[in-house]
Amino acid sequence: MGIGVSIFLIAVGAILAFAVEFQLWWLDINVAGWVLIVVGVLGLLLTLLLWSKRRSAGSVL
């Protein structure tokens, strides 16, 4: 997952968690938003971690 996808998930999750007042009988939209925010943040951190490792490994040459 790249930086763009992670930011997109965070943005959609924030919209669902904070701006939408809708609830299905089988799904709470606010909880789904928070799950998307957490997944987006984890994806962003993982992407940045992998990029920093790749960048430092290339400079060792």
Q: DSSP for 8-39?
A: HHHHHHHIIIII---B-SS-BHHHHHHHHHHH
Contact 6, 47 (CB under 8 A): yes
Domain boundaries, the chain: 3-58
**Of the candidate ranges 6-10, 23-27, 44-48, the one whose mean pLDDT is the lowest:** 23-27
Contact 43, 6 (CB under 8 A): yes
Residue 24 predicted with pLDDT over 90? no
Q: Considering the entire predicted model, what is its pTM?
A: 0.80
CA-wise closest residue to 7 among 50, 59, 48: 48
Q: Quick one: average pLDDT of 43-55?
A: 86
